[in-house]
Amino acid sequence: MARVDTDRVHVLGVRHHGPGSARAVAAELERLRPDLVLIEGPPEADQLTGLVGEGLEPPVALLAYVPGEPARAAFWPFAVFSPEWVALSYAARNGVEVRFCDLPAAHTLAEPEAEPKPEAGEDSGGAASDCGGGAGPGAAEVPAPEGADTPLPAAAPDSGDEAERRVTDPLGVLAEAAGYDDPERWWDEVVEGRETGPDTPSPFPAIAEAMAAVRAELGTGLTGAAAEREARREAHMRQVLRKALREDHRRIAVVCGAWHVPALLEHPRVSDDTAVLRGLPKAKVAATWIPWTHGRLAAASGYRAGVRAPGWYHHLFTAPDRPVERWLAEAGRLLRERDHAVSSAHVIEAVRLTQTLAVLRGRPLAGLEEVADAVESVLCEGARTRAEVLHRDMVVGERLGSVPEHTPMVPLQRDLAAQQKRVRLQPSATPRDLDLDLREDNGRRRSVLLHRLRLLGVNWGTPQRGATGSKGTFRESWHLVWAPELDLSLIEAGVWGTDVESAATARVRARAAEADLPTLTALAEKCLHADLTDAIGGVLAALTARAAEDTDIERLMAALPPLARSVRYGDVRKSDSAALHRVAAQLLARVCTGLVPALTGLDDAAAAAMVKAVDAVQGAAVLLGGQAEADWLDALGAVAVRESAPGRVAGRANRILHDAGRLDDSALALRMTRATSRGVEPARAAAWLEGFLSGSGLLLVHDTALLEVVDTWLAGLSGEAFTEVLPLVRRTFGSFAAPERRAIGDQVSRLGEAAGSVEDDPADDLDPARAAPAVAAVAELLGVTAPVPA
């Protein structure tokens, strides 16, 4: 073994995505002023380093992929607090040459399929990834985007063998030697939490010495293919370093995972490294930058080199002075935005509590645990649920990076181009309308592609409702236009996957995790349209859970129609809609149970909204059919006769029951007579009629008995009452089409003619003198003046 010239080569061992490591790297680079910076990462991205100073905003990720095979890809994510990003930024600002020195992606992505590969986000070094082991700054092989929505284990399973655990966890060995039972806590306090400054000694010699001791005692802790892969990576790093030394660079800075530092300081013979790298498979690889998110940097996403709290680390890096105070002040602001009373005194007391907790726990500085305890105890006044929600939002601190427009094309764009060719649907800047017949295979494929793109926010096509005049579910109409900004939308959507289907699936899973009940049912409908079989199960599971917890009848009613439509679409699109039908039936049953209690105390605006909800649920119940529809009509039957129900809602319920055959003409006429009798407030009667007649007045044209009831009610109103209800009546009849209003007027005129043509009018047999006492009594009851007998 030969040791490199440490006067020319300075190896900075870091933890990927560590703010303390990042600050230390920044300080060391300013001190060293190197003329070459080598960074752990794929050399294929060397030509992309120029974009660092031209609009790249972290979190971003380097993406290497095999053209034509988007499933063969790997990501190297960077946040603003990643040491590698700090090194890239330093080189861009100072005009220093920068290269990546890890094993080329051309070799790693050409490995045979039979060889076991790491899980999403898993480093080949096991838990060594915590201090920088594995494939670069968290190289995450596909399906890394999906892993963010389907959490994977964050560490290797415990084998029960203490020696084995120690081998795969170098941080654990060092932490245990320092008297810590939590390796994360030890690293945070010793490295990430330390202050940096001009007079602060560099931590990198101590890190190198510690890692050398661990490797000398335990070795790499890897066997088989994993050991071979790690040996190839370190051999290639040494080859790149040797080449740089031959180029007579004055001072070289190497930024790599701390685990690799001993391997770069002690070199074997050149022939040994050459032998390790000989005969490696190779594939043609392209590379680009794509936007990334803090959520994908979190260890909870399944990313093995991830950190527990990316939002907290971002805060520590961007606010190095008084970070605890600033964090708690921000927590107080967020709580106030959510209508919780939090004062500056709360924040001051929370800061004092963090300091006290740190002292009691024997820690040099307050960390995230102390801050979380203070937020719950002081700012949230012991409300654990509120504190957990706030803590989760702040700890992840979700951010989406951005890339400049001239970034090379990502696999998602290539996959879309291939699918456009397959379905014979090429993009055009000229707007066009497209009608699809879903009974045809290519029509369905086109529809699926357009719906998937819409789920990704790539609105190439806009659905047109009723554009063809067809009401059948086998036909869709789209308005297509390709705008230049859609290419940028595709690049941004690349964070979700490398092909349209997997990206749409990952996006749906992420949305389902935060969606409310109506959004979930709409999402289920969109999944069915987009044929996302891998996502619909998770959406339905979330939907079932939300429905079981939600007690808001309006949200339940709003959630039902999209689900019922999805059941109908299942038949046309050849999809299995049995699970959708079951969930929809369960939702409808809860709506039926809670409908009557939900009608209490509704004002006019709320009643109008409820009528629309009732109409929507009626359409959904018809689509579901069978017992579900019967139960819904039974619930409407209870509403129709309930005096406390708003007039609009009761009237609408009676109309639906009549249209469904549950209420015959004579029974309906009797109910309308009661609803418009003198004992009912005119405003309620008008509202009842508005609910009953809303949407169509043809029933009055064809049913003379109902028209007579309405005519009699209007004719019998006093002048004051007529003035009161006139706006409501006008609103009701004004909503009818002109031909309907004309037909109703004709029917009313014929009613008068029919009444005047009756020869044997029963009123002719009336004796006014004998009837006078009865008339006077009724007049007194009604508060009107009795007519004087002739």
Express each pLDDT in 19-36 by its tens digit: 888 988 999 999 999 999
Name the phi and psi angles at 257, rounded to 5.
-60, 140
Q: Quick check: is 105 in a domain? A: yes
Based on the domain organization, do 704 and 730 belong to the same domain? yes
423 and 386 in a common domain: no
Q: What is the extent of the structural domain holding 115?
A: 2-301
- Does residue 98 sit in helix, strand or coil? strand
Q: What is the Cα–Cα distance from 107 to 451, expressed in whole angstroms?
A: 36
Last residue of a domain, one of 457, 473, 500: 500
Q: Lowest-confidence range among 69-83, 180-194, 592-606, 747-761?
A: 747-761
Summarised one tens digit per residue, pLDDT across range 222-249 is: 667 778 888 999 999 999 999 999 998 8
Would residue 764 count as lying in a domain?
A: no
Q: How many angstroms separate the CA atoms of 727 and 707, rounded? A: 19
Domain co-membership, 327 together with 243:
no
Count Cα atoms within 13 angstroms, Cβ side, for 175.
18
Q: Is 546 contained in some domain?
A: yes
What percent of the chain is modeled with pLDDT above 90? 21
pLDDT digits (tens, 9 = 90+) for 550-598: 777 888 888 888 778 777 655 444 455 676 777 788 888 888 888 888 8
Q: Which of 657, 627, 612 is nearest to 639 (CA)?
A: 657
On whether residue 536 sits in a domain, the answer given is yes
CA distance 128 to 169: 6
Higher-confidence position of 575 and 309: 309
Position 612 pLDDT exceeds 80: yes
Domain boundary among the residues 396, 424, 446 is at 396
User: Which helix or strand (DSSP H or E) is residue 454 part of?
Assistant: helix 441-455
| Residue 766 belongs to a domain | no
Does the predicted model carry a pTM greater than 0.85?
Answer: no
pLDDT at 151 over 60: no
Q: How many domains does the chain have?
A: 4
Q: Quick check: 160 pLDDT over 60? A: no
Give every CB contact of residue 409 below 8 A, 6+ residues apart in sequence: 288
DSSP 678: T
CA distance to 119, 142, 345, per residue, from 147 (Å)? 9, 9, 42
Residue 474 CA from chain centroid, whole number: 29
Q: Are residues 161 and 18 in the same domain?
A: yes
Say if residue 229 is in the same domain as residue 267: yes
Task: Indicate whether 45 and 71 sit together in one domain.
Answer: yes
Helix (H, G, I), strand (E, B) or coil at 392: helix
User: Residue 710 to residues 138, 756, 766: CA-CA distances in angstroms?
Assistant: 75, 19, 26
Strands (E), 127-269: 140-141, 252-257, 266-267
Report the candidate in 267, 174, 265, 160 with the shortest Cα–Cα distance to residue 218. Answer: 174
Distance separating alpha carbons of residues 406 and 426, to the nearest angstrom: 22
Residue 585: what pLDDT?
Answer: 83
Residue 756 in this model has a pLDDT that exceeds 50:
no
Would you say residue 154 lies in a domain? yes
Query: Which residue in the block uniquely carries the two structure tokens 């915590």?
Result: 130
Confidence of residue 70 (pLDDT cuts 50, 70, 90): low
Same domain, yes or no: 626 and 600? yes
According to the model, what pLDDT value does residue 787 have? Answer: 67
What is the average pLDDT score of the chain? 79
Helix axes 517-530, 500-514, angle to 10 degrees: 170
Pairing of β 60-66 and β 140-141: unpaired
Shared domain for 477 and 340, answered yes or no, is no
Angle at 99 between CA 98 and CA 104, to 5 degrees: 165
Domain assignment present for 456: yes
Nearest to 17 by CA among 74, 63, 75, 80: 80
Residue type, 573: R
> Can you tell me the mean pLDDT for 327-350?
91
Which backbone phi and psi does 160 adopt, to 5 degrees? 90, -10
Residues 716, 85: Cα–Cα separation, whole Å: 82
- Same structural domain for residues 392 and 420? no
Distance CA 12, CA 84 (A): 10
- Cβ atoms within 10 Å, residue 511: 18
What string of DSSP letters covers 536-552?
A: HHHHHHHHHHHHHH---
Same-domain check for residues 532 and 613: yes
Neighbours of 153 (CB within 10 A): 11
- Same-domain pairing of 254 and 124: yes
Shared-domain flag, residues 457 and 538: no
- Report which DSSP code applies to 641: T
Provide the pLDDT for residue 363: 78
Domain boundary residue, one of 301, 333, 368: 301
Measured between alpha carbons, how far is 93 from 654 in angstroms, rounded to an integer? 74
Tokens, residue 38: 């080598």
Distance in angstroms between the alpha carbons of the first and the last residue of the chain: 132
Note whether residue 402 is domain-resident.
Answer: no
The 10s digit of each residue's pLDDT in 689-712 is 888 777 666 667 776 777 777 777
Instruction: Say how far residue 717 (Cα) sits from the centre of its chain.
Output: 55
Residue 232 pLDDT: 92
Q: Which residues pair with 402 in a beta bridge?
A: 57
Dihedral in degrees, nearest 10, Cα atoms 505, 507, 510, 511: -110
